[in-house]
């Protein structure tokens, strides 16, 4: 179901209308072979994959978007639905295929495909099924785009980012997971909502596992450049640790709440991943909490866990991890989170 490079052959008997419609100016040189076209592949056209593709499309982040899935009819339907909105959107070539050749030359590959948990199924069995799926998906994607950057969104994202790293053979800076980027956005929203201000004025991170063992970095939260905890202490404003933990607990439960209400999450993760794509492809060097190889940071020495840390992202993927100061309690919680992930990774046998 490979899409044709152009629809200009819709004329009589396959006439290439574009050749007749446009006449080049005198003395024009041929198109430069060095012109840079930005291409993103989205693997999986479920609710999450399409929310990501749609957000990337509306924000004009890529020149080409390639969609990949095993469901031929849904794949073609989603492609056509997006193409029919062309008059309202930035010009972007949209293609779709079950064939990985469609992904060739991608600058960024976003993987949202994953097996869903069956009622009564153990987490380990689910992970094994996802490992089998990734074994079929990651190697051909890496072969078609050997210089690409992998951004894993499928859950459990930390463990599957590790799997993608192992299966791709890529250097660690070119494989990352969406991690706690969305968790941190939810965190910032809740703090901003409490203070009645714009969430963009709040700097706050959730790190560690994208899950129950995540860590809220209360010590580094600032609003308009003012550190929150030190401000409260200077003003002698009493606060209880339980209150802070309630906010973190609400962050962890946010996804479950959305899923219980509408059946799935999509829009927030769409914006979150589009933000990561923009930062990477436009070399913005912004800091995002994403799942990276955490070995060697904050006393995490054993194994090769992938978990979220505030990282600077750019055209070469993960450019570095921020030297954020953690309290001893936060560092201890982060190491516990790393051990939680390592236990799961050890069961995969890769």
Detail the residues annotated as belonging to a binding site for NAD(+).
44-49, 69, 130, 153-155
Radius of gyration of the chain (CA): 22
- Other CB atoms within a 10 A radius of the CB of residue 312 amount to 15
Choose the catalytic residue: 84, 194, 210, 288.
210
> Among this protein's residues, is 210 annotated catalytic?
yes
| Rounded Cα distance, 159 and 123, in Å | 12
**Residues flagged as binding site:** 44-49, 69, 130, 153-155
List residues with catalytic annotation: 210
């Amino acid at each position: 179901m490979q899409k044709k490079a152009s629809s200009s052959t819709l004329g009589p008997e396959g006439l290439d209308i574009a050749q007749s419609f446009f006449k080049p100016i005198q003395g024009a040189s041929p198109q430069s072979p060095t012109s840079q076209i930005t291409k993103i592949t989205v693997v999986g056209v479920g609710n999450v994959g399409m929310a990501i593709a749609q957000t990337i499309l509306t924000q004009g982040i890529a020149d080409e978007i390639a969609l990949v899935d095993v469901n031929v009819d849904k794949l073609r339907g989603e492609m056509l639905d997006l193409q029919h909105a062309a008059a309202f959107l930035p010009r972007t070539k949209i293609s779709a295929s079950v064939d990985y050749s469609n992904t060739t030359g991608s600058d960024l590959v976003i993987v949202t495909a994953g097996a869903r948990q069956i009622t009564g199924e153990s987490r380990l069995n689910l992970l094994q099924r996802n490992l089998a799926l990734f074994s079929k998906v990651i190697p051909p994607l890496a072969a078609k785009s050997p210089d690409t950057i992998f951004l894993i969104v499928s859950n459990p994202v930390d463990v599957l980012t590790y799997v993608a790293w192992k299966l791709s053979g890529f250097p660690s800076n070119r494989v990352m997971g969406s991690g706690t980027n969305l968790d941190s956005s939810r965190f910032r929203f809740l703090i901003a909502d409490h203070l009645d201000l714009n969430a963009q004025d709040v700097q706050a991170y959730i790190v560690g596992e994208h899950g129950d063992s995540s860590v809220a970095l209360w010590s580094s939260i600032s609003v308009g450049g003012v550190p929150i905890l030190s401000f409260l202490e200077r003003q002698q404003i009493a606060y209880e640790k339980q209150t802070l933990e309630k906010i973190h607990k609400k962050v962890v439960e946010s996804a479950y709440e959305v899923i219980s209400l509408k059946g799935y999450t999509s829009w927030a993760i769409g914006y979150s991943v589009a933000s990561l794509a923009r930062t990477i492809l436009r070399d913005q060097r912004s800091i995002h909490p994403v799942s990276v190889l955490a070995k060697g940071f904050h006393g995490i020495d054993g194994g090769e866990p992938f978990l979220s840390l505030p990282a600077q992202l750019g055209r070469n993927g993960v450019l570095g991890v921020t030297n954020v100061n953690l309290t001893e309690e936060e560092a201890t919680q982060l190491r516990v989170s790393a051990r939680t992930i390592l236990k799961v990774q050890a069961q995969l046998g890769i």
